[in-house]
Amino acid sequence: MTLSETAALKEHIDSELAAGKICPSTSPAGAPVMFVKRADGRLCLVVDDHCLNAITIKDCYALPRQDELIEKLRHAKIFTKLDLRNGYNNICIKKGNKWKAAFRTKYDHFEPTVMHKKGPAAKSFILDCKTYFFSNSSSFPSDHSRISFVLMNLKEGQPKKWGQIYLEKLLDGVYEPILESWDAFEAAFLCNWSDPATAQVAERRLRDLKQSRAASDYATDFRIIASKLEWSDAALITAFRQGLKAEVRSKLIEFTLHKNITTLEEFISTACLIDDTLFEARRELRKDSNPSASAPRPAQGRSGDFVSRSVQEQRRKAEEYTKCGEKLHKWEECKNGWRLKSSERPKPESGKAAEVEELSPVPTMLGKV
């Protein structure tokens, strides 16, 4: 850390300890921290909690439809507003879970007693607004109406003060670049209020990502992280290639020597095809090196208690049970199984081998000569 960052870190820790929002920790976990600059130049301390994703239970319920939620409020007369933007940092962490959010610094090891600031709040707020605009498109026909709606519905505190400045300019007709279109306003809003370390954390995770399973699984993880970065396809292709297994990477280089691939999706499809082909080749090689595993088993001889069709027919005529040859016997009550009685067993012959009895005698129809 630089001298300015070290001073800011010390000031932040002292203020948070005095406010009771953090306390010294002996947790085995410890996320790293970093400083990033906001749009106004202020330093912001960020805790990299991505390691918690491995032990976090994801929400498993379906997201409600926006129009259905609005329909439920149609007849409501009393409304309350919860300030999540400023109140989120006052929610206490459940007992027994504080150790998971511990972080380490050059001064000591700490854990929070309340929730950290909600980084994705700005992005979630914009997404909720865009969903509402889509469900009520007739009420928001222009970018001017959408921007006015967002500025009027910002929470109290710094966001409200920031919004009032631009709301006054919008109503007075003062030209401002970020008020010119919705896209410009959205970009400026997210730049000022979203987590400034998102791109830096995503870049580091992308560099650390390596293929450990199938290339298709690696590609899925790569796409999720890459969606947070504004990289060109050429840069993403280079990063994707570096994370592949050495065998897949070498075959991919040989393939692309004679074919120019410029898009990321085409490059990923080619890598997945090569990985699948190598997997099939290894499986066939294992079969060839171990022929006993795939060789057919030798035919097993019939046991001495094999009951032929002719014996079954004889038992049926004698009103005996066809399975074991007993009388007054039901199929579901039989515990003897298929077996021959002593009188039905063939006698051993000497000399020539006896003729083999056909298992399924079928009358032969002789045709005309």
What residue spans define the domains of the chain?
A: 1-68+87-117, 120-196, 198-288, 309-342
Local confidence band at 240 (pLDDT 50, 70, 90 cut-offs) = very high
Do residues 104 and 26 touch, judged by C-beta distance below 8 A? no
Contacts 24+ apart (CB under 8 A), 265-273: 267/237, 267/240, 267/241, 268/215, 268/219, 268/222, 268/240, 271/215, 271/219, 271/240, 271/241, 271/244, 272/214, 272/215, 272/216, 272/219
- The DSSP H or E segment spanning 82 is none
Give the model's pLDDT for residue 367.
43
pLDDT class for 348, splitting at 50, 70, 90? Answer: low
d(CA 82, CA 91) in angstroms, rounded, equals: 13
- The reported pLDDT for the residue numbered 243 is 92
Q: Using 50, 70 and 90 to split pLDDT, how confident is the model at 218?
A: very high
Instruction: Say what the pLDDT of residue 90 is.
Output: 57
CA-to-CA dists, residue 267 to 211, 212, 216, 240, 315, angstroms: 15, 18, 12, 9, 71
Please give the pLDDT value at position 267: 92
Residue-wise pLDDT for 140-174, tens only, equals: 888 888 888 888 888 776 778 888 888 888 888 88
Tell me the per-residue pLDDT of 264-295, one tens digit each, with 9 for 90 and over. 999 999 999 999 999 898 888 888 777 655 55
- Model pLDDT, residue 247: 92
Question: How is residue 251 written in tokens?
Answer: 């075959």
How confident is the model at residue 226, as a pLDDT?
A: 87
State the amino acid at position 265 in one-letter form: E
105 neighbors 14 (Cβ within 8 angstroms): no
Q: What is the three-state SS of 245-282?
A: CHHHHHHHHHHHCCCCCCCHHHHHHHHHHHHHHHHHHH
Question: Is the pLDDT at 244 greater than 90, yes or no?
Answer: yes
Q: What's the whole-number mean pLDDT along residues 199-219?
A: 86
- d(CA 220, CA 272) in angstroms, rounded, equals 11
pLDDT bin (cut points 50, 70, 90) of residue 116 is: low
Query: Best-predicted range by mean pLDDT among 19-28, 206-215, 310-319?
Result: 206-215
Instruction: Report whether pLDDT(95) > 80.
Output: no
CA-only gyration radius of the chain, Å: 38
Rounded-to-integer distance, Cα 218 and Cα 271, Å: 10
The Cα 209–Cα 221 span in angstroms is: 8
**Cα–Cα distance between 193 and 121 in angstroms, integer?**
8
Q: What percent of the chain has pLDDT over 70?
A: 72
Residue pLDDT, tens place only, 56-74? 766 666 777 877 777 777 7
Complete DSSP assignment for 202-252: HHHHHHH----S-HHHHHHHHHHHHTTS---HHHHHHHHHHHS-HHHHHHH
Angle, to 10 degrees, between the axis of helix 143-152 and the axis of helix 182-193?
30
pLDDT at 242 over 60: yes
pLDDT on residue 34: 78
With a cut of 60, say whether residue 43 has pLDDT above it.
yes
Determine the CATH number of domain 1-68+87-117. 3.10.10.10
* Residue 291: predicted pLDDT: 64
pLDDT at 360 (0 to 100) = 43
State the pLDDT at residue 328.
Answer: 66
Q: Between these two residues, 99 and 237, which has the higher pLDDT value? A: 237
Q: What is the DSSP string of 90-156?
A: GPBPPTT-GGGG-EE-SS-EEEESBPPP-TTHHHHHHHHHHHHHHHTGGG--SHHHHHHHHHHTPPT
Query: Using 50, 70 and 90 to split pLDDT, how confident is the model at 315?
Result: confident
Average pLDDT on 94-113 reads 79
Give the whole-angstrom CA distance, residue 8 versus residue 1: 10
Who contacts 154 (Cβ-Cβ below 8 Å, separation ≥6)?
160, 162, 163
Structure tokens, 194: 């979203």
Q: Examine the pLDDT at 354 and tell me if it is beyond 60.
A: no
Contact 113, 23 (CB under 8 A): yes
Q: Which two tokens stand for residue 313?
A: 């027919």
As a whole-number percent, the residues of the chain with pLDDT over 90 amount to 8
CA distance 127 to 148: 16
Query: If we measure between CA atoms, which residue out of 141, 88, 95 comes closest to residue 116?
Result: 88
- Better-predicted residue by pLDDT, 199 or 182: 182
What's the pLDDT at 18?
Answer: 78
